[in-house]
Each structure stands twice: as structure tokens, then as C-alpha cells.
A = this chain, B = another copy of it.
Amino acid sequence: MTDKDQSGNPKFKTHETLAKYDMNNIAISTICSHSALQIFHGAKQEGFRTIGITKSEVKEFYDAFPNASADEYIIVSDYREILKPAFQNNLVKENAIIIPHGSFVEYVGADAIQQVLYVPLFGNKTSLKWESNRDRLGQWIQASGLRFPKEYSSTEEIEGLAIAKLGGAKGGKGYFLVSKGKKVSKDYTLQEYVVGVRYYPHFFYTPLSRTGLAAGEGSIELLSIDKRIESNIDEIYRLGMTRNELTEYGIIPSFVVTGNMPVVVREALLPKLMTMGRRIVESSLKLFYPGIVGPFCLETICTPSLEFVTFEISARIVAGTNLYPIGSPYSPYIYDEPMSMGRRIASELRLAIKKNMLEKIVS
């Protein structure tokens, strides 16, 4: 990706691979985790072959869902094997396009995906680097004019409450609340704790059509919304204890993501949320070429004054979309067919193949 094209934009090495693909025989591939059932299910609905990358002990659990299992599996003992030329060449031979999800990015690494992977990848791999670096993430959210929680460089600066977070997509592991003056290790980012309720809207940005809300040269669709369920924080109220009492019993509040629940937002708030999605897309077009492509999610908190504060961007499919394999409370307003995010990705690939525009949505 060090080369540039005539306009001075970076050239994706994967586009050379893509040029040799048999467009009538594309396969969709990902690691069997996170949202792979949904991705395979959607790919099959759109008529693609599917290739699961998995550890041997996991395969049978995917096969137990026949409509969402992969047609073929490649067994690995370590997901970093994906980066080896022999492995990649095998996927290339199969005309495979990889769909990156949260576990894919975590297991393979955003840097390796950008520097070493030459198998074509759905979406813009540069956006995966932006979501996983806290400084860039903050820059992106603020360049979009969205409210971002304050960050503190020491606990002395904290006003009210802060949440201490480890870097990277760790699923909430090791997060905890801190107040002014408490001691915290240097590995943690200190972020203002915004009091409200969480909403995670799931957007899809297509550069290929303007049927959704106009953004850049394409448009965005709001396909669904979820809320995460974190252990043990989301049931800790059942104990009726203050943090001091919890400490006495050796119970430490923790924020480990374990699952998701479906929600809708007040309809009067949709324009706000969708404007936020649009701004995230439009600032991405300026921050990194060619900007965000495909699914993304804003992790927000809705305050009592009905303001949304955005504390994270996921620049790829999120696990919250797993709630909606045959559609959500919003997707029927856009699509006649049952439309999951997994299927939406596949239908975008289908359209791009037909229009001979795959290079716009693959990197």
C-alpha cells in the first residue's frame, strides 16, 4: 500500500489480486467467531460460496447451524497462520473475499491486516487501524463534530467520574470506574464517565448508491440498534450494595461484554443519530482514503437531555447485529427481504460485482 495511483491516493495491493478473480465464483470467508454465522448466512442467501477459517474443535458448532455453516473450512491452530503466503494463496485461488469482524481484527491484528494481508478484504482496512488506536479514534469522532467523552491524562484531572480502559478491542475486560485522585496504572486511558443509557446504532455506508441518507458520494442506512450486556455490571444491582459493600464481599464491578439485547430509540432521535453516522462517514473521507465502507457502529450514551455522546467507533460489523438475522425493527423500512447486516454485506458485494465496482468496496 506504499504505491500511489495517478490521483495520489494509495493503491491497495489487494486490487491486483482482485483483478485476477473469477467474478462468477467469488467465495466469502472469515474466522468462525463473532458474527460469522450471520456473515455466512447472508452470503448463502446472496448465492456466494463460503469458507470458514477455524480451529478444529470449533467446526462442529458451526455445522450445527446448517443454514449458516461454511461450505468449506480451513483448519488453523493459530489465527496468525492466515498471514502466511501459502494460506493466503489458497484463499486467493478460491477467489475469496474476507469479511473482517471484531474477532478477526483482534486475532490477526489491524497492522498485520494492513501490511501483510493481500487477500481482498471487504471494506477499507485503513479504517480498522483508525478504530483501534485511541488517539486516532478521538480525532475521528471530534473531526465529525460529535461529542466525545473528555480524556484525562491523570486521575487528578477527573471531574465527576471516569472510566479506566485498556487499549484495543478487549470486549470491556479490565474496565473500571475511578474518581479524582485514585491511583491507576499507566496502561489505562482515563475517559469521562457519561451518565445515561447506551445505544449502539448499526450503520451501513454504501458508496455505490444513494437510496439511503446521502453521505459522501453514497449513502448510509440505519439497519438496527442494540445494547450490550456486560458482566457483572449489568446485573450487579441485584445485590443492592454500594461499591464499598461490594468490595467487602470481594466483588469487583466489571464490564466484560457477554451478549446483546435489542432496542429501538425514540423516533424523534433518529435524525440526530443518522446525522452522526453521516458525519462519521464524511470525516472519514477526509481523514483516510477512501473513507469508511460498509458496516460501522457508534457506541453512544444518550443523556437525560437527549444528547448522544460517542465513546467508540467500530469500523466493521459488530456483534450486536447478531440479534437480527432476518431483520430488525428498522430494516423492513428499507428492504422487502429479511435483511441482516451479514446479508447486507453480501448484497453490496453482489451489486459491486454486477457494476464492476468491487475496487470501491474492497481493500
Q: Which residues of A contact B (CB under 8 A)?
A: 33-37, 41, 57-58, 60-61, 63-68, 103, 160-161, 171, 177, 179, 193, 195-199, 211-214, 219-222, 225, 227, 229-243, 245-246, 249-254, 256-271, 274, 302-306, 319, 322-327, 329-330, 332-336, 338
Contacts and interface: CB of A to CB of B under 8 A. Distances in A.
A37 B270 CA distance: 11
A295 to B, nearest CB: 16
A262 B252 CA distance: 27
A264 B323 contact: yes
Given A196-B235, A232-B303, A34 B267 contact: yes
A240 B242 contact: yes
A195 B67 contact: no
A261 B262 contact: yes
Given A68-B333, A268-B103, A306-B256, A262 B197 contact: no
Given A36-B267, A327-B326, A336-B67, A196 B237 contact: no
Contacts of A239: 161, 177, 193, 195
The 7 nearest A-B residue pairs measured at CB: A237-B237, A65-B333, A68-B333, A64-B213, A254-B304, A240-B243, A259-B265
Contact of A322 (B58, B230, B235, B264): B264
16 contacts: A34-B267, A61-B270, A64-B212, A64-B274, A65-B334, A68-B333, A177-B239, A177-B240, A231-B303, A231-B306, A234-B238, A236-B240, A240-B243, A256-B305, A325-B333, A332-B338
Contacts of A259: 197, 199, 225, 263-266, 269, 302
Contacts of A242: 240-242, 245
A37 B266 contact: no
A322 B58 CA distance: 30
Contacts of A253: 238, 240
B322 A332 contact: no
A263 B264 contact: no
Nearest to A101: B267
Contact of A332 (B67, B238, B334): B67
A329 to B, nearest CB: 5
Contact of A197 (B58, B198, B258): B258
B231 A274 contact: no
A176 to B, nearest CB: 11
Nearest to A251: B195
Contacts of A329: 322-325
Question: Which residue of A37, A58, A329 has the most chain B CB atoms within 10 A of its CB atom?
Answer: A329
A58 B237 contact: no
A128 to B, nearest CB: 19
Question: Which residue of A225, A231, A322 has the most chain B CB atoms within 10 A of its CB atom?
Answer: A231
A319 B267 contact: yes
A238 B163 CA distance: 11
A304 B232 contact: yes
Nearest to A229: B197
A333 B231 contact: no
A119 to B, nearest CB: 22
